[in-house]
Amino acid sequence: MTESLKFESMEEALKYAIKQEELAAALYRHLAKNAKTIQAKEEFSALVEMEETHKKNLENFSFEEYEKKNKEVIYFNLGTTDFMPEPSDNQKLSELSYTDSLILAAKREEEAIQMYKKFAEYYKDNETLKKFFLNMVEEEKRHKYSIESKYEDVINER
């Protein structure tokens, strides 16, 4: 993600984050539609649901409610796909293998992690917002961990 993440208001930042969640859901929806196995279809469909839940959480964000519910969860980054190249831009999503689809999904989750980290840094003086965005970082890490775990399972089955 090379674009600048500076916003005039919290609403503007939330709109940007909502758009990113919509894009992630659209990608996973497409990968599910074109999946070659039932398992892959189910896994990408589950990711669609998670991204749509994130979108709803961002749309309904309330400082007061967030402070009441905030809890810290930490997920370990397997890093399995961190240094793997993304599937070629010339390659159509519908032509991706299951492993390439998982690599692409993990890369998108890493982009989301970095985006929310930048948001947390940008709002470092507002403890509630900082905690909220750091919680989103952990949520995206959980997704990436799940995707990379599936990738490792597939590779180890070979």
Q: Region 141-155: what's the mean pLDDT?
A: 89
Looking at residue 72, its pLDDT comes to: 43
Average pLDDT, the chain: 79
* Whole-model pTM over 0.85: no
Q: What angle do CA 75, 41, 20 make, to 5 degrees?
A: 55
pLDDT at 134 over 60: yes
20 backbone dihedrals φ, ψ, rounded to 5°: -65, -40
Domain limits of the chain?
10-157
pLDDT at 89 over 70: no
Higher pLDDT, 41 or 9: 41
- What percentage of the chain carries pLDDT values higher than 70? 75
CA distance 49 to 28: 9
For residues 80 and 106, the answer to whether their CB atoms sit within 8 Å is yes
Topology (CATH level 3) of domain 10-157: Ferritin (1.20.1260)
